[in-house]
């Protein structure tokens, strides 16, 4: 049997790519340079697109190829390039000290990863006799970890651009959960979600630029000045 038709080989490849995506998420937690964070997000999105394409290949699910293609176009090419351009326009290249320091943030992220694995155990439903139907199920724990760590990053970071990246990595967790549990949602729903994310990030980018113009900083904590 060829490697490219062996579900066990596909499972190993998917597990490896999911583990790398989680490592990149932890790298984003510890990284303060915005450009580096954007590129880490782009590589993470590429891995998720590859996971979707692998599951599509072994399960003959053509709509997942469409999801993988949209992920490549939007999250690997369009959004990273646009965000890098925004960083250069705003002129702020480095995140200020987060609310929780890096060592403590990594410990918290490790705890959230463990929580993701504990919660994912209750969703384990092996499909006896259909190895290809089990592809990606073990990535649910990683998907939950990406979601939880992304949410933590939104709370912990003070720069608006870093919070936009945290939102995108959180959405990556939702995408991975969708393809790991159900092999993707209907194509129309996926299209709607992708374009919602694109519009939301564009609007947030405009907001970041305006905040920078008004306050000469993108530190969202300074918005407290608006309270009467």
Query: Residues 167-198: pLDDT tens digits?
Result: 888 888 888 888 877 665 555 556 656 666 66
Q: 3-state SS of the chain?
A: CCHHHCHHHHHHHHHHHHHHHHHHHHHHHHCCEHHHHHHHHHHHHHHHHHHHHHHHHHHCCHHHHHHHHHHHHHHHHHHHHHHHHHHHHHCCCECCCCCCCHHHHHHHHHHHHHHHHHHHHCCCCCCCCCHHHHCCHHHHHHHHHHHHHHHHHHHHCCEHHHHHHHHHHHHHHHHHHHHHHHCCCCHHHHHHHHHHHHHHHHHHHHHHHHHHHHHCCCEHHHHHHHCC
pLDDT score recorded for residue 65: 85
pLDDT score recorded for residue 202: 65
- Domain map of the chain by residue range? 3-226
pLDDT score recorded for residue 137: 64
pLDDT score recorded for residue 129: 47
Mean pLDDT, all residues of the chain = 77
- Global pTM reads 0.79
The low-confidence residues of the chain, meaning pLDDT below 50, are 1, 128-132, 215, 218, 226, 228
Taking only the tens place, the pLDDT of each residue in 131-160 is 445 555 678 889 999 999 999 988 888 777
């Amino acid at each position: 049997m060829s490697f490219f038709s062996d579900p066990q080989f596909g499972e190993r490849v998917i597990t490896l790519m999911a583990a790398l995506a989680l490592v990149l998420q932890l790298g984003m937690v510890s990284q303060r340079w915005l450009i580096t964070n954007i590129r880490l997000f782009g590589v993470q999105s590429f891995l998720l697109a590859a996971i979707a394409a692998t599951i599509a290949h072994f399960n003959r699910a053509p709509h997942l190829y469409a999801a993988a293609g949209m992920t490549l176009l939007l999250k690997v090419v369009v959004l990273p390039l646009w965000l890098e351009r925004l960083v250069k326009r705003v002129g702020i290249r480095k995140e200020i000290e987060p609310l929780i320091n890096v060592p403590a943030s990594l410990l918290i992220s490790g705890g959230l990863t463990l929580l993701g694995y504990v919660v994912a155990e209750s969703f384990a439903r092996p499909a006896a006799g259909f190895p290809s139907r089990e592809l990606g199920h073990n990535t649910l724990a990683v998907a939950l970890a990406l979601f939880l760590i992304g949410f933590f990053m939104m709370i912990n970071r003070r720069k608006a651009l870093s919070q936009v990246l945290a939102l995108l990595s959180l959405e990556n967790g939702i995408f991975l959960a969708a393809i790991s549990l159900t092999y993707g949602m209907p194509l129309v729903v996926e299209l709607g979600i992708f374009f919602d994310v694109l519009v939301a990030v564009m609007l947030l980018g405009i907001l970041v630029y305006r905040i920078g113009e008004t306050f000469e900083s993108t530190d969202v904590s300074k918005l407290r000045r608006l309270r009467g």
